[in-house]
Amino acid sequence: MTTLDEMDQSLLRFLRRDARTPTAELARRLGVSRTTVQARLEKLERTGVIAGYTIVAGDAVDAGMIRATVLIQVEPRMTASIVAALGRMREVEGLFTTAGRFDMAIQLAAAGTPQLDSALDRIGELDGVRGMESLIHLTAKIDRRR
């Protein structure tokens, strides 16, 4: 496990806001040389702290998308095949194990209600799914994905 000092944490905070920030700008914000920032970035990448860089799509991409959280109960012996099947569904944005009455929480995104309904039907038909509950997302009050 890599220990992150204050500079590493600050660097990660800046990159989370904008991963395209030039190295020279990061150096200026941190009050260090450009080569120091470059060396820190290389270390963070090499140790797996930074696993990659990505884009955050704007609101225009998500316009009209409908999202839901689906809670499912599964037969324990079927967990691996259910995870594999959910991994093949393009509507699945995330899959999490949970504690409590439900075994997994699925984050879905679909182009519209017919596509969401179809995805829900496919999940319910998977061998080993004993029960499910769907929570349709209406309005985001806090969204830290961006």
Position 54 in a domain: no
Position 107 in a domain: yes
Does 75 share its domain with 105?
Answer: yes
Position 1 in a domain: no
Question: Considering all CA atoms of the chain, what is the largest pairwise distance in Å, rounded to the nearest integer?
Answer: 58
The pLDDT assigned to 35 comes to 96
Q: For position 63, which CATH number holds?
A: 3.30.70.920
Helix/strand/coil (H/E/C) assignment for every residue in the chain = CCCCCHHHHHHHHHHHHCCCCCHHHHHHHHCCCHHHHHHHHHHHHHCCCCCCCCCCCCHHHHCCCEEEEEEEEECHHHHHHHHHHHHCCCCEEEEEECCCCCCEEEEEEECCHHHHHHHHHHHHCCCCEEEEEEEECCCCCCCCCC
Quick check: pTM over 0.85?
A: no
User: How far is residue 71's CA from residue 129's CA, in Å, rounded to a whole number?
Assistant: 10
Does 112 share its domain with 67?
Answer: yes
pLDDT (tens digit per residue) in 12-43: 999 988 899 999 999 999 999 999 999 999 99
The pLDDT assigned to 11 comes to 95
Does 73 share its domain with 131?
Answer: yes
pLDDT (tens digit per residue) in 83-93: 999 999 999 99
User: How far is residue 132's CA from residue 107's CA, in Å, rounded to a whole number?
Assistant: 13
Position 90 in a domain: yes
Does 94 share its domain with 125?
Answer: yes
Number of domains in the chain: 2
Position 146 in a domain: no
Does 34 share its domain with 73?
Answer: no
Structural domain boundaries enclosing 19: 6-46
